[in-house]
Amino acid sequence: MIQLNPKWFLGAFWASSVAEIASILFTLDEIHRVAKPLLMISLMLYFLAASHGFPNWRRWVAMALAFSWLGDVFLMNDNLFVVGLGSFLIAHLFYIVAYSQTGAKTGTLKVVDGLKFVAVGIALMWVLYPGLGDMLIPVLLYAFVLLMMAVLAHKRRGSTSDLSFTLVAVGAVLFVISDALIAVDKFAFEVPYSSLMVMITYITAQYMIVSGLLKHE
């Protein structure tokens, strides 16, 4: 059986990342249409190649990346925003299951961590509410699942390696920031350089989460 080198796919992921960021900076639409869909495909292949054994929880990570890919593709069309939102909601649910199986069930959640995400949720909805209209319920549901993903990432404390915990927790925070930027820019007010900041935080978030889960012990 051919052994695939994870570095090949990791290189493809970073090449796609650079191309995607360049496409935003220089308005290169053709490169954007190719680079963005390659991001999560290459990261998923890296994860699968870097995985040893393939215990059950890693299937959930692969599914989270697959639905993130769907979300990326759908969000390239403004008319498919709700479908893209639903795809990422499912991706977060898969991450929640993966976290539960890699320490969140038995880990410790600091009170301050829980409170900070409650505060973020309240502040975000306060900013978004006037502009949501018919999107109130979908956005509220999505925000709840997103913040639960971040909370469970922090609840892995003490039940995994320190490196795994830190990478996943920081990645989850960056994911929240990325999605919050999208929501604020769409429903509240224009955020300067939002597309660039969204992609930088999103790419970093996904990479840190995947890298952290690969470090799980």
DSSP string across 141-175: HHHHHHHHHHHHHHTTTTSS-HHHHHHHHHHHHHH
Question: From residue 178, how far is each of 86, 105, 167 by CA, in Å?
Answer: 16, 26, 16
Residue 102 DSSP class:
I
Q: What is the mean pLDDT of the chain?
A: 95
Which strand (E) or helix (H) includes residue 61? Answer: helix 56-74
pTM confidence score: 0.96
Average pLDDT, integer, range 39-60: 89
Reading the block at residue 217, the tokens are 């012990």
Reading the block at residue 138, the tokens are 């979908």
Residue 4: the pLDDT is 75
E strands along the chain, which residues?
none
Average pLDDT, integer, range 36-51: 96
Looking up tokens 């995994």, which residue turns up?
160
Question: From residue 65, how far is each of 45, 86, 146, 217 by CA, in Å?
Answer: 10, 14, 15, 21
- Cβ pair 109, 147 in contact under 8 A: no
Residue 58, judged by CB atoms within 10 A of its CB (0-12, 13-18, 19+), counts as: buried
Query: How does pLDDT run across 5-37, given as a tens digit for each residue?
Result: 899 999 999 999 999 999 999 999 999 999 999
Query: How does pLDDT run across 51-107, given as a tens digit for each residue?
Result: 876 678 899 999 999 999 999 999 999 999 999 999 999 999 999 999 999 999 999
Residue 53: the pLDDT is 67
- Pairwise CA distance, residues 24 & 198, whole Å: 11
Query: How does pLDDT run across 117-133, given as a tens digit for each residue?
Result: 999 999 999 999 999 99
Residue 55 contacts by C-beta under 8 Å, 6 or more apart in sequence?
none
Residue 124 contacts by C-beta under 8 Å, 6 or more apart in sequence?
143, 180, 183, 184
- Pairwise CA distance, residues 56 & 101, whole Å: 9
Looking up tokens 């759908």, which residue turns up?
74
